Amino acid sequence: MTKPLVAIRSVSKNFGEFQALKTVSLDVWPGEVMCLIGASGSGKTTLLRCINQLTAIDSGGIWLDGELLGVREQGGRLYRLTEREIGRQRLKTGMVFQRFNLFPHKTALENITEGPLQVQGRKSDEVRTEALELLRRVGLAAKAASYPAQLSGGQQQRVAIARALAMKPMLMLFDEPTSALDPELVGEVLAVMKELARSGMTMMVVTHELGFAREVADRVVYMDQGAIVEQGRASDVLAAPREERTKAFLSAVI
């Protein structure tokens, strides 16, 4: 029997008085494409950020590839991992941000090679070859020497996807990857993500693009007020939601 790549168990997170996540539990299976939908403030982005440890959870546990994230259990107590160990765990996930967050002082190629060279300490000619191949894969082979400011939003986001893939992650996390884009640029980013999904990558995508979810997602998870309200096959959840809150959300969005 296969094991889930990500196992989330009773995870809670508060920001002051605000409960961002209320004892959320979820499994993500290898090769699965999962879309997380819901209104802003529903906790879907927080959940993604907890998996990448950009946000520390208050209670519960997240296992990635069988390894407990952020803490170590010993004698019935939890001990926080060192920054170095957390950095090593982060290498298993690739993160794509809503606002791209490319490094503006580095070219597209340098953005992609930075992690493999500086963090993984790999050989430069091999990294460079792979980075050029990744740029070709996202359709930007001609833009290797361009700085982010010289690229359109859609091109920047595709470079950001290539940058995340360069670390050879087991899991790709997308935090509203098309929300900051002009409408005519959304398609090119979604096309890259579809290709990635077809290649067998495990993906968690926070998105408002229900068309993408319908077409690509194996599973759709609807979240509201920090909890998972409904989940299932994309065709079921999007076409025939069972919960009232899901119905209300979908009718408001479409």
Partner 1 sequence: MKPAPALAEGFPDLSGMRIAREPHWFRWLSAALIVLVLAAIARAFAAGQIEWSYVSRFLTAKVILEGIVNTMVMAVLAMALGIVLGIVVAIMRLSPNPVLKSVAAGYTWLFRGTPLILQLLLWFNLALVFPTIGIPGVWTARAVDVMTPFLAALLGLGINQGAYTSEVMRAGMLSVDIGQYEAAHAIGMGRLRALRRIILPQAMRVVIPPLGNEFIGMVKATSLASVIQYPEVLHSAENIYYANSRVIELLIVAGLWYLLVVSILTPLQMLLERRFARGTMQFAR
Q: Which residues make up the interface to partner 1 (CB under 8 A)?
A: 52-54, 83-84, 87-88, 90-91, 93-95, 97, 99, 101-107, 114-115, 118-120, 147-152, 163-164, 167
Question: Which one, 102 or 138, has the nearer CB to partner 1?
Answer: 102
Supply the minimum distance, in Å, between the C-beta of residue 122 and partner 1. Answer: 12
Pairing, β 71-74 against β 77-80: antiparallel
Supply the minimum distance, in Å, between the C-beta of residue 231 and partner 1. Answer: 26
Supply the minimum distance, in Å, between the C-beta of residue 112 and partner 1. Answer: 10
Q: Residue 104: how many CB atoms within 10 A of its CB?
A: 11
Question: Which one, 77 or 84, has the nearer CB to partner 1?
Answer: 84
Supply the minimum distance, in Å, between the C-beta of residue 102 and partner 1. Answer: 7
Read off the tokens for 196: 């990635």
Contact 62, 21 (CB under 8 A): no
Question: Which one, 102 or 234, has the nearer CB to partner 1?
Answer: 102
Could you please report the per-residue DSSP string of 2-49? Answer: PPPSEEEEEEEEEETTEEEEEEEEEEE-TT-EEEEE--TTSSHHHHHH
Question: Which one, 166 or 238, has the nearer CB to partner 1?
Answer: 166
3-state secondary structure of 234: helix
